[in-house]
Amino acid sequence: MKMSKNFLWGGSIAAHQCEGAYDEDDKGLGIMDLVSVGDYGKPRKIYSKLEDGVLYPSHYGIDFYHHYKEDIALFAEMGFKALRISIDWSRIYPNGDDIEPNQKGIKFYQQLIDELLKNNIEPIVTLYHFEMPINLVKKYGSWTNRKVIDYYLRFCKTMFVTLKGKVKYWVTFNEMNHIDPQTKATDIFTYIIAGLKYTDLDNKKQTLATIGYNMTLASCLAVRLGHEIDDNNQMGCVFGIEPVSPVNCDPQNVFKAFMQTDRDFYQIDAMCNGEFPKYKIEEYKRIGLNIDVTDSDKNAFKEGKLDYLGMNYYASSVAEYEGSNGKESALFGGLQNPYLETSKWGWTIDPVGIRYLLNYTYRKYGLPIMITENGLGAKDKILESGEINDDYRIDYLKEHIEEVKKSIELDDVDCFGYLTWAPIDLISATTGQMSKRYGFIYVDMDDNGDGSKKRLKKKSFDWYKRVIATNGKNLDI
Ligand code: BGP
């Protein structure tokens, strides 16, 4: 297959990591507004209410709320065909259960989308990127409660109607998939997904299973609704997945690796195959968990199938095995691969993994796939000349794009877009740091939120511009 001339080159950002302005224009408090900055290897601290003297990076982000025109102009200068943004639910329904939406929040996103369209950039809109009004957690228990699905659909409907005819590509959820009752859960992952700390949960396994089910169901209902409101809508969901290798060819280890790679695919199965997978229901039963699949849920799975899949890819890992004492991989658990390098934050760099996943997923579902996130978090240095030579980032992206191209041109995977995380430096989701930088554009701010907020082009800026201009043909530094 040839690379389409309409291939969507661009980048991805998320509201809580870039907007700032956390209490402007009647925005409500969102779950990430209560999480502090972490440090290398140390998790972010999660608070139950705002406390004086604590630094909450979502409160300032990179002030995209007031800089979006300038930032979009820079993306346009790079030739972006697409930008994935997220809509912060707590700007639209500050408490989540409000009857009427907040018009000021709506206006902001209308202007943002108009600005993208004016610059010929296709907006790709995520409806839930770790951004839930905290009130829904406190009052209803978050996704453990089916009422929250109704509030989510109310929010989705508002956005589908508001942006009808302007937005075609929707993402129902970003990475709902890191909370499985069978694997080691962490506070930060359950919190960013559902606003709940793992260690605080009663009946942990059942709660995780219920959340996983309810969010999957919510996605299917949103897909159905999106199609009802506009049949031009292309409905997708984004998963953060990684290939897991066996430590050796002992069949037990090979099997473990398969099961760990496949861990989160039950949700994708549910969203693509028209029913919640029986193997998962049976697995839950065996470990004493119960999921109530009602007749109306069954219809939702049947009628809410995805049009495309979004894939976030950063790293791969090695399956844990009996007696393993290898170095833990820093991302979704598992072990580090001794054949591969890691980033400064311990994420294993494995370009071939992206080809593996593209093939695996495409052959399983036959749906078009967009790479919705891929990138390298690194420390950048401004030289005295003012230049920022981020060759390491160019190398990472180049090696991954090469594998994406092979997937399309040699393996015939229908991959229709590649979005980097993130085209501009912003707050890290897992650490809250500003110094974990991903962008082509440097933002002059430090981990304390201090700095001029000035935007500077890194070396990778011109590189990516050329990649886009040549539709991926010229990847040379
Ligand atoms: C993905 C999230 C993004 C982003 C990215 C990088 O899982 O969807 O929001 O943050 O990971 O992670 P981090 O910011 O922790 O380096």
What separation in Å is there between the alpha carbon of 322 and the centre of ligand 1? 30
Q: What are phi and psi of 124, to 5 degrees?
A: -120, 120
Q: Which of 175, 242, 320, 403 is catalytic?
A: 175
Please state, in angstroms and rounded to a whole number, the distance separating the CA atoms of residues 230 and 52.
Answer: 46
Please tell me if the CB atom of residue 429 comes closer than 6 angstroms to any atom of ligand 1.
Answer: yes
Please state, in angstroms and rounded to a whole number, the distance separating the CA atoms of residues 195 and 134.
Answer: 7
Nearest CA to ligand 1 atom 3: 429
Please state, in angstroms and rounded to a whole number, the distance separating the CA atoms of residues 206 and 204.
Answer: 6
Length of the chain: 477
- The secondary structure element, H or E, covering residue 126 is strand 122-126
CA dihedral 267, 12, 348, 324 (to 10 degrees): -30
pLDDT score, position 325:
64
Written as six digits, the tokens of 344 are 């400064």
Break the chain down into helix, strand, coil percent, rounded to 5. 40, 15, 45
Give all domains of the chain, ordered by start, each with its CATH number: 8-469 (3.20.20.80)
Is 317 strand, coil or helix? strand
pLDDT score, position 189:
87
What separation in Å is there between the alpha carbon of 429 and the centre of ligand 1? 5
Say what the pTM is.
Answer: 0.96
pLDDT score, position 419:
98
Residue 78 DSSP label = T
pLDDT score, position 40:
57
Pocket test for ligand 1, best of 172, 242, 421 (most atoms within 8 A of CB): 421
Tell me, yes or no, if 322 is annotated catalytic. Answer: no
* DSSP code per residue over 168-223: -EEEEEE---S--TTS---HHHHHHHHS--GGG-SSHHHHHHHHHHHHHHHHHHHH
Please tell me if the CB atom of residue 174 comes closer than 6 angstroms to any atom of ligand 1.
Answer: yes
Beta bridge partners of 170: 125, 235
Nearest CA to ligand 1 atom 16: 428
CA dihedral 348, 349, 352, 355 (to 10 degrees): 90
**For the CA of 238, the nearest atom of ligand 1:** 8
Cβ–Cβ under 8 Å, residues 122 and 187 = no
* CB hemisphere CA count around 241 (13 angstroms): 28
Please tell me if the CB atom of residue 240 comes closer than 6 angstroms to any atom of ligand 1.
Answer: yes
Q: What are phi and psi of 443, to 5 degrees?
A: -115, 125
Please tell me if the CB atom of residue 312 comes closer than 6 angstroms to any atom of ligand 1.
Answer: yes
Cβ–Cβ under 8 Å, residues 414 and 8 = no
Tell me, yes or no, if 373 is annotated catalytic. Answer: yes
Q: pLDDT tens for the chain, 477 residues: list them.
A: 899 999 999 999 999 999 999 999 999 999 999 999 986 557 789 999 999 999 999 999 999 999 999 999 999 999 999 999 999 999 999 999 999 999 999 999 999 999 999 999 999 999 999 999 999 999 999 999 999 999 999 999 999 999 999 999 999 999 999 888 877 778 888 999 999 999 999 999 999 999 999 999 999 999 999 999 999 999 999 999 999 999 999 999 999 999 989 988 999 999 999 999 999 999 999 999 999 999 999 999 999 999 999 999 999 999 987 766 655 655 667 888 999 999 998 899 999 999 999 999 999 999 999 999 999 999 999 999 999 999 999 999 999 999 999 999 999 999 999 999 999 999 999 999 999 999 999 999 999 999 999 999 999 999 999 999 999 999 998
Please state, in angstroms and rounded to a whole number, the distance separating the CA atoms of residues 267 and 277.
Answer: 8
What separation in Å is there between the alpha carbon of 3 and the centre of ligand 1? 27
Residue type, 243: P
pLDDT score, position 327:
59
